[in-house]
Chains A and B, each alone.
Chain A
Amino acid sequence: MKVARRRFDTLVIGAGGGGLRAALQLSQAEANVAVVSKVFPTRSHTVAAQGGINAALGNVLPDSWHWHMYDTVKGSDYLGDQDAIEYMCRAAAHLVYELEHAGVPFSRLEDGRIYQRPFGGQSQNFGGEQAARTCAAADRTGHAILHTLYQQNIRAKTHFFDEYFAVDLIKDDEGFVLGALVLEIETGEPLLIEAKTTLIATGGAGQLFRTNTNAHINTGDGMAMVLRAGLPLQDMEFFQFHPTGIAGKGMLITEGARGEGGYLINKDGERFMERYAPKARDLASRDVVSRAIAIEVREGRGCGPDGDHVLLKLDHLGEETVHKRLPGICEMARIFLGIDPAEQPIPVYPTAHYTMGGIPTDRFGRVVVPVDSGEEAIPGLYAAGECACVSVHGANRLGGNSLLDIVVFGRAAANDIIKFLRENRYHRPLAQDGVDAALAHLARWDRKTGSESVAALRAELQAVMEEYCGVFRTAEVLEQGLDKVLELKARLDDAVLTDHSRVFNTARIEALELENLMDLAVATVTSALARQESRGAHSRVDFPERDDQRWLKHTLFYREGRRLDYKPVRMKPLTVEPFPPRERVY
């Protein structure tokens, strides 16, 4: 079948902070770059990040990149790769200054330097006093960064394909990735984008769960494309539940609220985090705080008529601080709860938030797969941001490290792409088989027979994932969950669209998204069932301890046969001494 074609040096799929940071670097290097995004770039979910971006600037309290590295390794429950973490923490300050120079309206200290606030899991001096490492633009840091990066891309004349949905990667027989088949949403027409390199920066998959902090678009499309291309996903069992989503609704209330001095109370008014994390209290790591809230509720100390949440108290901070430092939160509380947090506490509960796992990459953003002697890069394929697993977050991401991750590895990937382009000057011949397969995938939704509805299956999938793959897990529950997810996936084969029109057919897009979510649900539950230990966000009631002997390793999941494989954690940093696994207390 014939399909329209465009050719670029390099293709970026996804226009959140990771994709845009990479695109900016590439455009500035005068590469011919195409950015494909299924929504207009400033709609990307980076826009919703609130609290800030970590960098050891030391503007408020003493700090060093090495302490940041220690906190990140510890926060990851030692599953993070220490070479990548060192790279990220060392690069952080430079990249934050770069963002500031590009126009990000950071909040300021009296002397005009960037405002920094304390966040969870941060310490001075390798586990000492609380640090203040999170650079903030009020509580709208993601919005400020995303808009600035988009604006600078306008300046750099990056080529945007707004509202184009990426369907599948195109690979040739030698394993080179040659671009992607995309769908122009407005016309419903497929388009083949040929490129010497493809960077996937499509974000996370929070839509796997019913109650989540994520946007509707967070369906893990890039990760699922990688699975369909026969490549593995790494550490998918590690999904972060943010301690403070608005109870029952899911909207995020930034950790910055606790960074500014807010704290959690149960129905007795007790500041319960003191029992779970005597030193860091409300600023312990997110996995620790989320479990604590879930336990409080389970043991009958929850608030409200149903005892199903706890309260985040901010009213003691004074109206000035609350309204000045957390204006977005105030707006959200007013709209969705009808309250002013400066006067009344916010009902909160742990809510699905962040995909720690993803496409396995090295610290250059190259997608890597295991070979006999180690790892090998897939030529022409890159990933960065939440869809990637470098892994800098390991089993639990620290707040403020996701915005950092996207700019650090967006840029790193772009730098390696520039090198790759120098060494690979010409487009490789197109693999028509790959194009045909992608078109066939798309054509599946033209079928006019079937009995299942996409919306209903999506709702069922989210409910199953929430119930069977949540904060606390056991083999029994996960096994049931896996059966249910596989059954849903089988039913997806029988799904049919009632709308077969071409122009801006969002039903078709949602069907493609559901296929992606389905594969990711299988990857998540399968990986979770296999990992018989508790580490970071993966909390197995039947295996309550961390087991470094057996499980200090990364999971790899392959779609074909739901095969699992494992690879070692890179414990060796670039220049400093490793941080060996230790008991993790806050």
Chain B
Amino acid sequence: MRFRIYRYNPETDTAPRMQDYEVEGLEPTMMLRDALLRIKAQDETLSFRHSCGEGVCGSDGMNINGRNGLACITPLGELKEPVVVRPLPGLPVVRDLVVDMSRFWHHYRSVRPYLIVHDPVPEVEFRQLPAHRDRLDGLYECILCACCTTSCPSFWWNPERFRGPAALLQAYRFLADSRDQETESRLDELDGPYRLFRCHTIMNCAAVCPKGLNPTKAIHAIKKLMVEHAI
């Protein structure tokens, strides 16, 4: 199988280049990560992040034939040759397929992605009815792989000010949690023309999410909450 992989090592390269590899003995049911590991065994200078190999740790987000996804759950059989693999777009490249995620983490931290409770906590668990707990489904499962945010044109255009789909999904995860007590301030923090409202419902985020989540829907829900709270 043929692969064309983005290569860049700041110590030796003045500009990025694409390098071709041919790998024998791959099966269509194997994953792209398996192929990258074979390539790395031949050419250990190729750098990429990966870990769990089953789509839960979120390490190996990359751009695969023009579309963001996780290498470890992308079957080779679904890919057209040569398979073109690039780093996630919209973030600075550290080396090869490794991007600098600092900006992504900055936006994540900025939405205060943690439960805030001011009342004294009970000596047992908070009661949360199943119907309330169900509101967290489709939100809490996010693995922070950055596939969504780095596929979002609004993020490419306003990377400093637009929070991006991943961070906004997390913002809503806490707004939707019946236990959280910071609804007002969370909504206030997202108000204004950029942080939330740069979303133009392009929906690339939902199209690429490897966990099948829908950040656009969460963003819409935040907007709706804002309206409700304004009246």
Contacts and interface: CB of A to CB of B under 8 A. Distances in A.
A101 interface: yes
Given A42-B57, A42-B143, A105-B136, 8 more contacts: A43-B52, A43-B57, A101-B121, A109-B130, A110-B130, A501-B45, A503-B11, A507-B40
Interface residues of A, number: 61
Given A103-B179, A144-B140, A505-B47, A152 B125 contact: no
B11 A107 contact: no
B59 interface: yes
Contacts of B53: 215-216, 251
A336 B47 CA distance: 25
Interface of B: 9-12, 40-41, 44-45, 47-59, 73, 75, 94-96, 98, 101, 105, 109, 112-117, 121, 123-130, 132-133, 136, 140-141, 143-144, 174, 177, 179, 211
A541 interface: no
Given A47-B57, A101-B117, A108-B129, A497 B44 contact: yes
A155 interface: yes
A504 interface: yes
A406 B48 CA distance: 29
A95 B115 CA distance: 17
A203 to B, nearest CB: 11
Contacts of B116: 155
Task: Give the top 9 A-B pairs by smallest Cβ distance, nearest first.
Answer: A103-B115, A112-B127, A151-B114, A507-B44, A455-B41, A215-B52, A504-B95, A215-B51, A43-B57
Contacts of B101: 40
B42 to A, nearest CB: 9
Contacts of B126: 100-101, 112
14 contacts: A40-B59, A42-B143, A47-B143, A100-B126, A103-B174, A108-B133, A112-B128, A137-B140, A186-B94, A331-B211, A499-B45, A501-B45, A503-B10, A510-B44
Interface string A145-157: 0011001101100
Contact of A106 (B115, B123, B125): B125
B144 A151 contact: no
Contact of B128 (A108, A453, A454, A498): A108
Interface in A217-255: 217, 251-252
A506 B177 contact: no
Interface in A83-125: 96-97, 100-103, 105-114
B148 to A, nearest CB: 15
Interface of A: 39-40, 42-45, 47-48, 57, 96-97, 100-103, 105-114, 137, 140, 143-144, 147-148, 151-152, 154-155, 186, 215-217, 251-252, 328, 331-332, 335-336, 453-456, 497-499, 501-507, 510
B127 A113 contact: yes
A48 B127 contact: no
A402 B117 CA distance: 28
A307 B221 CA distance: 51
B123 A108 contact: no
B114 A216 contact: no
Nearest to A135: B125
B52 A498 contact: no
B109 A154 contact: yes
B120 to A, nearest CB: 10
A505 B177 CA distance: 41
A503 B95 contact: yes
A227 to B, nearest CB: 24
B50 A97 contact: no
B32 to A, nearest CB: 12
A44 B115 CA distance: 21
Contacts of B50: 216
Contacts of B179: 103
A108 B58 CA distance: 26
A251 B72 CA distance: 12
Contacts of A502: 11
B73 A335 contact: yes
B26 to A, nearest CB: 15
B141 A97 contact: no
Contacts of A501: 9, 11-12, 45
Contact of A143 (B47, B127, B143): B143
Given A102-B115, A155-B114, A503-B94, A43 B128 contact: no
A340 to B, nearest CB: 15
A155 B108 CA distance: 12
Contact of B58 (A42, A106, A112): A42
B44 A499 contact: yes
B114 A103 contact: yes
B38 to A, nearest CB: 10
Contacts of B129: 108, 110, 112
Contact of A97 (B94, B125, B130): B125
B91 to A, nearest CB: 13
Contacts of A186: 94
Nearest to A59: B125
Given A42-B58, A143-B56, A103 B177 contact: yes
Given A335-B73, A455-B41, A111 B127 contact: yes
Nearest to B127: A112
Given A105-B133, A504-B94, A332 B140 contact: no
Contact of A456 (B41, B98, B133): B41
A216 B49 CA distance: 10
Contact of A215 (B57, B75, B95, B211): B57
